[in-house]
Structure 1
């Protein structure tokens, strides 16, 4: 085969481009709820696989859940989790595991058997898994099969609303990578995050709606969409905060309000513009040093009528990592102690060599181990790396 074009095959077999094109056509034509079944049939025909299984990462980032309904895979040492964590193929036990990831958003792992002997064909199957990831995201609004299949328990109504509001759970570009997580994953209330980028800037917001249950979720939904509306109108960051503030005050008349942190990172210079409206805390990991980034505290969104917000700026160094953590992290308590600043800084330092999603998982895993159970109060953790490359 011509490795540059994939258009010839001296052995007379199906060419690489033909195989991959066939898979893409198969997935594009498949009913939304039958992607895996149609993919399995096509892979059996073109690659000789007899087993095709999709394992989706659950909402808690703690289990890989087979779409077939088999037992979830738990444990960092398993082939599926090694594939998910390192985002590379893993061959073990007669099966090939490849990551199902779209633009850095890790959805799960595709497990295939038997394993092709040809490394080039295994590389093609990695491309197949990426194509599957794009299709899963595309069909999600039209079927509940994959959303339900990624759960190990029922979500509360408030959590359902919060998860549907998110832009994804991780994102990668040459200039940055980021990830976020909500806890307790199956019962989260008012905490949430949002992000967007245009190749030159990345916007990140973390919010916490006051109240409990659906009341908090509805407030967070209003605030997030008001911020998106202002951002998409091209407003400056401080004006985005003011527009959202007006929207929330107009509806709730100050009875309810929303804590928020708005960030805008210039991907060329590393300059961060920030608006702190009663927000979570912001930490910078620079080398092995954890820096508490000081911010000018302003009123939460919607607390008063006509609040004027001011932005501030600080600079990142290439390779810096930002952590945004809500109060539910340092304030989490076991039966005998509070998690606190020392443990938080230690957990942040420990993530230096990890990708952002692994870093988020590590910090929250340490927090759950400290508490000894699922978290009681809401917590949001977002991790952002700036590489300096555009």
Structure 2
């Protein structure tokens, strides 16, 4: 090996990643950036940046830290960093002054954390393999350390956040989740002032459990109700089996805690990821929309059920069957009940027209498509989001779920 040649062999990469993993266990959050920059330098990388998605999903913002290159925030539309993040692929951009700028998506599990960017003099297959593994390890480090530091939160926050929004963001699961059979993505607006909207999900064996809720009100009372509703849902999900039992348990928790004048609307679902069978309870929400081939084909109707907290009778389940590639969009009434400048309601009809129009464009994947829909709807509403507005989308792909070979 020439004296100035950088080693990036398989064996060297394994040793480097092993050393990084050993050091990571005890390192404090503030030293992650210098550690990453140090390790990247060992493979000839320079100008390392770690970019995190902001809460409004409008920017990728640089994480400050010794040894990191801290530039301006990257727009979520049109930049190489955004393409790497939204498409979950490595983007390489030749530089005018020589070298190649490499953008690598940072995935915590399947949830998008951000992007790692660095510059190399040249990029080969060994480099790509090593850098992708390094990016996966960096993402895991960020997710792990995020549980006990505010450093990454502060980097992602671009404006003051209300107390209710702080509560809601602490309540949410990862915004995206993907396995070969199914993918989900959610967006909560207004990002810095949310109160009563929330969603939750869990993949247990072949069943995806989903809840989308909207607690009445726009302040801390709404955030408190949402917290109790999601807490009761998670408890019921881990103890009971049926959707009707989940609904009854949540109904009892809200009515006991807040009394008869408070309520939470909700959609509860089970989706069998192997067969596409979908069970639905709709407690006061707009009906979910079934999207097939980029177009809304119908509402997923269900029997009328009272909102949670009104001590209603046990709901009747509605069953639907999804086809491969189908998407299901759940949304709260803040999307369609926003008033336009002329005083009209935004309406479900306008929502469907936006979905159909965007469905004619090439898809960049569920997460990117949902984000584009959310920002398009906001623009159509004149930038206004006076009430909480939540979008949650499911894409069913089908197939067996028991074989790790499918992940290759």
2:178 to 172, 177, 189: 172
**Superposed counterparts of 1:42-61, under 5 Å:** 42-44=39-41, 46-61=42-57
2:164 corresponds to which residue? Answer: 158
Structural mapping, 1:329-368, within 5 Å: 329-336=335-342, 337-349=344-356, 350-351=358-359, 353-368=363-378
Aligned to 1:142, the other structure's residue is in SS state: coil
Q: Deviations over 1:145-192 (max 9, x none)?
A: 011111111211111100110111000001101100000111111111
Aligned-pair CA distance for 1:139: 1.5
Correspondent of 2:300 among 283, 288, 293: 293
- Find the aligned partners of 1:187 and 1:195 in 2 and give their Cα distance: 22
Query: Aligned pair in 2 of structure 1 residues 30, 269: CA closer, same or farther (>3 Å)?
Result: same
Paired residue total = 380
CA distance, structure 1, for counterparts of residue 168 and residue 206 of structure 2: 28
Change (3 A) 1:228 1:365: same
Residues 298 and 105 of structure 1, relative CA distance in 2, 3 Å threshold:
same
CA RMSD of aligned residues (A): 2.1
Alpha-carbon separation, structure 1, partners of 2:33 and 2:261: 48
Q: Alignment partner for residue 326 of structure 2, among 314, 320, 341?
A: 320
Contact 1:260 1:301 in 2 (8 A): yes
Contact persistence 1:195–1:202 (CA under 8 A):
yes
- Match of 1:205, SS state, is strand
| CA displacement at 1:66 relative to structure 2 | 0.5
**Structure 2: 5+ residue runs without aligned partners?**
1-5, 65-69, 401-408
Deviating runs (4+, > 3 A) in structure 1?
9-14
**1:4 corresponds to which residue?**
none
Q: Secondary structure at the match of 1:383?
A: strand
Range moving further from structure 2, 214-223 or 234-243: 234-243
- Show the 5 A alignment for 1:79-228: 79-92=80-93, 93=95, 94-228=100-234
> Hey, what's the Cα distance between the residues in 1 that align with 2:9 and 2:40?
19
**CA drift at 1:14:** 5.9
Q: Measure the CA separation in 2 of the matches of 1:11 and 1:335.
A: 58
TM-score (norm 1): 0.92
Shift of 1:275: 1.1
The whole-number CA distance in structure 1 between the counterparts of 2:391 and 2:30 is 32
Matched, 1:254 2:260: yes
Deviation at 1:333, TM superposition (A): 3.0
Residue 57 of structure 2 contacts residue 76 of structure 2 at CA under 8 Å; is this kept in 1?
A: no
* 1:102 positional shift: 2.1
**Which residues of structure 1 form unaligned runs of 5+?**
1-8
- Counterpart for residue 76 of structure 1: 77
Shift of the 314–358 alpha-carbon distance from structure 1 to 2, 3 Å rule, reads same
